[in-house]
Structure formats: structure tokens, C-alpha cells
Amino acid sequence: MDNAKIKKNIKAIFLDVDGVLNCLGTKERFNGYLGIEDEKVSLLAELVKKSKANILLTSSWKEYWHRKNKEKQDSFANYLDAKLAKYGLVISLKTMEENPFNRGVGIKEMIQKLDQLDYYVSHYAIFDDQFFDYIECGLEDKLIKTDDRVGLTKAHILQAEKLLNN
């Protein structure tokens, strides 16, 4: 009998916030800063429902976001959690790259870490309004680049569905 562990397949959405869940035209504000649009979170919820993907945070909003120690979160992380929860969404994990401009490195490290924990990331998509190091990391085919003037759209969701459900 083979003693190899069976890995659990998961799908992942690597999520940036600014320029994705909001845009330059967003009217909502939180503590004087650009807020998060319900319409864009609703689109993300539609994708999560159809794909059964986990949300992994890559955004600079992750700095004070904690999966378990919610009392350590700042008001922005609490606001993000509340906006997502309004649509039944939760963040599963966050990437941990040392350099915030190396998001591609963080994604690759996260996929490796999950593999070590017996999870296989079978399909994934990256939502971001910047290129960062995605091309250098060979992730350009997973990147769904949004425009910070518009943010997340139905067309982006359709593109992500193809990546997550094929």
C-alpha cells in the first residue's frame, strides 16, 4: 500500500484591494481614505460562489490583517473583513513576502507553503491593478489586471472564471 499523502485540491484568488475593490472614482470613504465598493465585492462574491475558490490577500491592506488574532487588527483590516462578510466572504490567508513590491514572489511562496501543508493549488487567479513582479515570476497568465480608474468589472470576473473552473 502506498503511504503517500493525498493532497486536498484548492482554488485560490490572490486579491489586491486598491484598484480592484475600489477605484479612483469610488465615493465611499473610510477614515478619510478610499473605501471599498459594495458592487465590486458583490462581483467577487459571485466568482467565489461559482468557483468555490479561497481568497488570499496580497494587498498592502494585509499588513494588519490577522486570520486568528482579530484583536490585533487595525480599523482598516476590520473594515475589510466587514465589507467582505456582508457578502458571505472571508479571507483565508495572506501572503508574507518581505518586499511589498514582490507580490509574485509572495504568491509562489504561498503556493509552496500550502503544498507542504498537503494542499494543492489546482487553479488560481490574481487580481491586481499593478504588474509588480508577476511577469518576472512567470505569473502573467494568472494575472487579471484591473484599471485603478474602474476597478473590478464583470469582464474580469468572466476571465477569472475561465482560470478557476477549467
In a domain, 108, yes or no: yes
**CATH number of the domain that 88 lies in?**
3.40.50.1000
The pLDDT, as a whole number, for residue 1 is 47
- Residue count (the chain): 166
Question: How distant is the alpha carbon of residue 98 from its chain centre?
Answer: 17
Please check whether residue 1 lies inside any domain of the structure: no
Q: Cell 511589498 appears where?
A: 100
Please report which helix (H) or strand (E) contains residue 105, including its range.
helix 103-116
For residue 56, tell me if it sits in a domain: yes
Mean pLDDT, the chain, rounded, equals 96
137-148 residue pLDDT tens: 999 999 999 999
The per-residue pLDDT for range 1-26, each reduced to its tens digit, is 455 678 999 999 999 999 999 999 99
Classify residue 39: in a domain, yes or no: yes
Ranges of the chain with pLDDT below 70: 1-4
Closest CA to 86 of 53, 47, 37: 37
Say how many domains are in the chain.
Answer: 1
Is residue 2 domain-resident?
no
pLDDT at position 4: 65
Question: 97: domain range?
Answer: 8-165
